[in-house]
Amino acid sequence: MAFRFSRTACVSCLIALAQVLLPAEAATRSKKARSTPKSGLRATAPAAAAGLATVAAGAAAAGTARSAALGPGQAEARLIEVYQALARGHSRQALEKAERLVREVPDFQLAQLVYGDILATRQRPVRALGDVGLPLNPAAAATLAELRAESQRRIDALLERPPAGTVPAEIIALAPRVRHAIAVDTSRSRLYLFENRPGGLALAADYYISVGRQGVDKSVEGDLRTPLGVYHVTSNLDPKSLSAFYGAGALPINYPNVLDTQRGKTGSGIWLHGTPPGQFSRAPQATDGCVVLTNPDLLALIRTVEVGTTPVVISSRLRWVTPQAARVEAKSFEVALESWRQVKSEGQLDKLLAFYSADFNSLGRKLADWTPQLRGELQKARGRALELKDVSMLRWSDTSDTMVVTFGEVPVGSRTGTVKRQYWQRQGQSWKIFFEATIA
């Protein structure tokens, strides 16, 4: 169900949100709220400029300690409850909820702004989020614009939920040992955490995030952009080893990945990390290129994901499909992977080399340098067929079509084997391997 509403009309946003998030009777109640005079929202009496003043007070308030007392996603959920109460026309309840929220999370600037708006309605009508009724200096105007953008992104993400039973098109299959996956939609400022259950991927949680100040599609060091692609969590950094700027910790990812390197992209140090003391969340585009979450949300990720196996898909706009549709779209690749397995099982080096791209590069080793590696693997197998176990497949499609596949390669009759990761690229009607490495 899609809702269209003014990007600046606060009351209209709240009514639309209520129709999605409240029970069935919310639509009826929202009509009443829409017809309620502005004076009906008045409850007590502060100055008309309370909105901005409260934001400033909140920005200077205590650090992350009190914020962390709320669990992952709870501060946002509490803010939505304030929106819901307003949409119902329950202004006193909204005021009480907002007051409790800013008291418990004093550095949540957006909550401070909403609280200030509710207080300001006792003096005059409030027609937009952060309608302070006074001229603003450039710095304050920029802060207000950022808070409005954050509010809109949070509302959009809640109005436009992923369709039930769908997954990001980039996630084709995950091995059972890969327990979780992360997908980031930068257009929604949203991170989605999936649990890999026996019945398939299930959305476990989703969180508001911030990305680079200059947007996305990172290509060079220092461009202040967040990369787009398929990555993996590479480590979990102890917050004691980091400056306070990174908040509750950091989860680095493997940017630049193999595809990025092939395309000549540069840069490093792209992390999922938290926020510093005195800052609960950041504007949608406010980082140096990292993906930034609130500290409670980051701690939930840290407790959940696994280093080395958890994939992280970062997309400018996720495409949601059913798992069955994802497998159908990847059918041609699965055929190519099975053909590669059969040819390698047969021990035919010449035919095997036909699966590798002319621009193959494995950590500096070109195809001519990699050929002895393949020959040695065939000799070691001694003609035994190979099985591919615990296969994970991730897809990245932009100007080219790329598959990142991770699997256990085990000769029939053996109890153990090697874990490999390959990057395949569609070239015409064929799939070719342009990277391969043993990772375990």
Domain chopping of the chain, boundaries: 10-159, 167-320, 330-438
Cα 149 to the center of its chain, rounded Å: 17
Residue 225, class by beta-carbon neighbours within 10 Å (0-12 exposed, 13-18 middle, 19+ buried)? buried
φ, ψ for residue 123, nearest 5 deg: -105, -30
Q: Give the per-residue pLDDT at 127.
A: 84
Q: What's the CATH code, domain 330-438?
A: 3.10.450.50
Residue 69: predicted pLDDT: 62
Q: How many CB atoms lie within 10 A of CB 136?
A: 14
* Residue recorded with tokens 């990277």: 435
Identify which has the larger pLDDT, 48 or 184: 184
Q: Which residues pair with 211 in a beta bridge?
A: 285
CA distance 422 to 258: 10
Instruction: Say if residues 425 and 431 touch (Cβ distance below 8 Å).
Output: yes
Of 30-39, 96-105, 188-197, 230-239, minimum mean pLDDT range: 30-39
Q: What is the mean pLDDT of the segment spanning 391-412?
A: 97
pLDDT at 264: 97
| Token reading at 192 | 């989605």
Confidence of residue 256 (pLDDT cuts 50, 70, 90): very high
Alpha-carbon gap, residue 339 to 385, rounded angstroms: 13
Give the chain's radius of gyration (CA, Å): 25
Separation of alpha carbons 95 and 89, rounded Å: 11
Looking up tokens 């407790």 gives 303
Amino acid at 393: M
* Six token digits for residue 217: 């599609």
Q: Is 334 exposed, middle or buried (0-12, 13-18, 19+ CB in 10 A)?
A: middle
CATH superfamily of 167-320: L,D-transpeptidase catalytic domain-like (2.40.440.10)
pLDDT tens digits, 278-313 = 899 999 999 999 999 999 999 999 999 999 999 999
Let me know: does 335 contact 400? Beta carbons within 8 Å. Answer: no
208 in Cβ contact with 192 (< 8 Å): no
Provide the token pair at 62: 């205590």
Burial class (CB in 10 A: 0-12, 13-18, 19+), 100: middle
Per-residue model confidence (pLDDT) at position 307 = 96
What are the tokens at 419?
């874990």
Q: b/e for 186-209, b at 16 or more Cβ within 10 A?
A: bebbbbbbbebeeeebeeeebbbb
Mean pLDDT of the region 126-154: 89
Look at the alpha carbons of 172, 178, 180, 183 in this order and tell me if their dihedral is positive or negative. Answer: negative
Our measurement of the distance from residue 150's CA atom to the centroid of its chain's CA atoms, rounded to an integer in Å, reads 15
If pLDDT is split at 50, 70 and 90, which confidence band does 21 have?
very low
pLDDT at 440: 86
Q: How far apart are the first and last CA of the chain?
A: 46
Percent of the chain predicted with pLDDT > 90: 76
Whether residue 274 contacts residue 249, with contact meaning beta carbons closer than 8 Å, is answered with: yes
Angle at 177 between CA 338 and CA 321, to 5 degrees: 65
Cβ atoms of 36 and 192 within 8 Å: the answer is: no
Q: For the chain, what is the mean pLDDT?
A: 86
